Amino acid sequence: MAPKSESITKGHEREVLEIWRSILSLYTRSNLTFGIDKLRALAGIVKHIQPLFGNTYRVGIWKDSIILLLGWYCYSGSLRRLLPRPLEYRAPTWSWASTDNPITFWLPFPRSEPIFDLKILSFESTTIGDDTAMRNGSGYLLVEGPLNLVTIDKNWMHFIVDGRPITLSRSGHEGQTWLDEDTELATDLYCLPLHHTVVPKNRRAGEYDNMHAWRVEGGNTFLISFLLLKPKDDCLGFYTRCGVWRSEGTEGLLRVQTGREAPCQEFLGLERGHRIRIY
C-alpha cells in the first residue's frame, strides 16, 4: 500500500477515477433506510481507497480531482422521474450527496488531458464531528469563471453564443442537459464551464462515456462540460447548482457572452468572467 502522504495516481488518474465512478454508480443505486446516512455508509470504502487519491475528501468530493468530480449528473435509472432534493439539509448542492438519485460523472477522453476552465479559489466545508469521511456537512466553493445567461422559455433553455442561439435539451445535436431533479424551470439560469477536451477529427465525442455520440466534422472541436446554476435571491453572487450541460463547441462557449450583468461578487472581464460562491 502506498504511504498515506503520497498519491499513486500519477499517470493513472483515469484508472483511479474509473474506480471511484464505479463505486458511486453502484452505491447511489442502492436504497438506504435513511438518506442522511449516505456519506457515513460510504466511510469505510473512502478510508480504504484514500491512499489512491492521497488528498482531502469533503462531503463526497476529492479535492485534487474536484473540477472533474463537480460534473456528476443524475439519471433516473429504474425511476420514472428524478427525486427532489431532500428537505433536510445534508450537503451543499455541488456535492452528489445532496441528492437521492443515482449519479455518475464523465471521464476525460482517453489519451488526452482535460483543460480546466473553472478556477477554484476556496474549497470550504464544515462537518459534524471529527471524521470528515463519515459526516455530513455544509460548505461553499469560491470560484472564478465566465458565467452566461441561459434563458428559460416553456421549459426550453437557450444560450446565445457569438450571435447564434443554442438550445439546451435532454438530447440533440447541441449536446445534453441533466437536471438534478424534475422540476419546472421557472427562472433563468446561468451556465459556468468546468472543463473541456479537444476531440480529434473523425472521433465520436461519445466514445468514452454513455452520452449521445456525434461525429466531429472538419477538424478538432471542444467537448465542454458546464454547471447549471441558479442565483440565490437573498445573497448577491451566491448560487446553487441545479444540473449540468455538456456540448461540443468553440472558444465562444468559454467566454462571457450574455452574462455581463450576472449577479456576482466581482466581475473580472470577458475572459476571466465572474467571482461567485456556490452553496
pLDDT digits (tens, 9 = 90+) for 242-264: 999 888 777 778 889 887 889 99
Residue bearing the bigger pLDDT, 203 or 12: 12
Mean pLDDT (the chain) is 78
Grid coordinates representing 85 are: 432534493
Grid coordinates representing 237 are: 453572487
Residue bearing the bigger pLDDT, 221 or 44: 44
Q: Write down the pLDDT at residue 11.
A: 59
Stretch 51-78: mean pLDDT: 85
Q: Quick check: 189 and 182 in contact, CB under 8 A?
A: no
**Counting Cβ atoms within 10 Å, is residue 271 exposed (0-12), middle (13-18) or buried (19+)?**
exposed
Span 182-200, pLDDT tens digits:
876 667 889 999 998 876 6
7 pLDDT above the threshold of 60:
no
Sign of the CA dihedral 244, 250, 251, 253?
negative
Distance CA(54)–CA(69), nearest Å, equals 16
Q: Write down the pLDDT at residue 213.
A: 38
For residue 161, the Cα-to-chain-centroid distance in whole angstroms is 21
Beta-carbon neighbour count of residue 212 at 10 Å?
15
Instruction: Work out the percent of the chain whose per-residue pLDDT is above 70.
Output: 72
Distance CA(29)–CA(47), nearest Å, equals 21
Helices 13-29 + 38-53 axis angle, to 10: 170
Q: Write down the pLDDT at residue 152.
A: 77
Span 220-242, pLDDT tens digits:
678 889 999 999 988 999 999 99
Lowest mean pLDDT across 56-65, 209-218, 224-233: 209-218
Distance CA(34)–CA(97), nearest Å, equals 12
37 pLDDT above the threshold of 50:
yes
Residue bearing the bigger pLDDT, 3 or 38: 38
Helix ranges, 37-100 (H) = 38-53, 66-69
How would residue 172 be classed by pLDDT, with cut points 50, 70 and 90? very low
